[in-house]
Amino acid sequence: MSKSRATRGSNLDSDRALSLLTMMERIRAFEEQACLAAERDKLVLGAIHPSIGQEAVAAGIMQAVNPDDFLLSTHRGHGHTLAKGAEPLAMMRELLGRAGGCCGGKGGSMHIADFNVGMLGANGVVSANITIAAGAAHSMKLQRDSRVVVCIFGDGAINRGPFLEGLNWAKVFDLPILFVCEDNQYSATTRTSAMTAGDGAAARARALGLVDHTVDGNQVEEVADIATQCINRIRSGGGPEFLHAITYRRTGHTSFDPAAYRPADEAVQHEQRADPINRQRELLTLAGKDKSELDRIHTQAQQEMTDVLQQAAQSPFPDPALALKDVQDIGSPEQELR
């Protein structure tokens, strides 16, 4: 087990730091708009699962990979997808089930995919992406391709069988993959610690022989540093690694969930103490950046995503015939929609 070093203001790469802040602000703004779309505008048919408070994991990990590397994500994957390079308008249309979405409106929030940016799919089933990611990494190895795979899943996933099967597979075949347990401490509405035996995620990975790391998932600089080191080792043939990034889910399980099952002030306290955006702003301020510059990043992100929602909301729904298309190459069912 290794710990990443604390990053200090004095040796901060300010370009990278600003870029990380910008991405976190964009993710936050995107999801705030998505929540408004769901709750205020009733435009999301079904649930969305926000990652508000967890943006440092998405931004930090994704700055460490190349545009053509692969990502597999979860039902809480808007941040990962945006940070991987997907267009926010196409993403928002996808969340709203509209034409012009990344998947033509058929994937939705939980099954969003954008192969053009190496995003091989979010997945609505906890831990299902782990086995698929192992296969993608296997493919890279068999084809002697230098791309690496990042597979992000939540803390709930470590209690499902495919976690064991996927990690074991990756180690047995020595694959180029970084597993990231984005630990927001809740499995849907239950505290994960109450449902998890033993020493948790990293210990389980270690037991399978993976190199494991634990990082403060609310410190984007630390996440970015350690992810960069991991990806470099993995790309040069070092085999699979495991990163346990501990963060916190500010919202309920879905945007509609008031999270009444946890102490009333838990989320507020966490926001005051460990909000990843506030922390990054403080770091940049210490490094001499002007508050107005940081505020401008915030305002621009807010404006960008407000426009995105507005445009997405005006996009048409897909042709209903699409519901019966893309089943198999032998053609779509011929009966009419009922």
Partner 1 sequence: MTTLTMVEAIRETLRAEMLRDERVILMGEDVGHLGGVFRATDGLRQQFGAQRVFDTPLAESVIAGSAVGLAISGLIPVFEMQFLGFSQNAFHQICQQIARTRFRTRGSHTCPITIRAPFGGNVRTPELHSDSMEPQYAQGTGLKVVMPSTAYDAKGLLASAIRDPDPVLFLEPLRGYRLVSDDVPDDDYTIEFGKLRVMREGDDITIVTWSASVPVVEQAVEQLVAEGINPHVVDLRTIVPLDEAGLVAAVEKTGRCVVVHESPAAAGFGAEVITLLQEQAFYSLQAPLKRVTAPDAPYPPPGIEGHYIPSSELVVRAVRETLID
Residue numbers of the site for partner 1 (CB under 8 A)?
70, 72, 103-107, 111, 113, 115, 120-121, 123, 125, 128, 130-140, 142-143, 149, 161-162, 164-166, 168-169, 172-173, 322, 325-330
Tell me how far, at minimum, the Cβ of 87 lies from partner 1, in Å: 15
Concatenated DSSP letters for 252-264? Answer: -SSTT---TTS-T
Sign of CA dihedral 304, 309, 315, 320: positive
- Position of tokens 């309920």? 252
Tell me how far, at minimum, the Cβ of 67 lies from partner 1, in Å: 15
Tell me how far, at minimum, the Cβ of 69 lies from partner 1, in Å: 11
Tell me how far, at minimum, the Cβ of 170 lies from partner 1, in Å: 9
Residues in the chain: 338
Query: How far apart are the C-alpha atoms of 329 and 94, rounded to whole Å?
Result: 23
Query: How far apart are the C-alpha atoms of 151 and 130, rounded to whole Å?
Result: 6
DSSP secondary structure code for residue 246 in this structure: E
- When the beta carbons of 263 and 331 are compared against partner 1, the nearer one is 331
Pairing between β-strand 149-154 and β-strand 2-3 as defined by DSSP bridges: unpaired
Name the 3-class secondary structure at 300. helix
DSSP secondary structure code for residue 209 in this structure: T
Tell me how far, at minimum, the Cβ of 107 lies from partner 1, in Å: 5
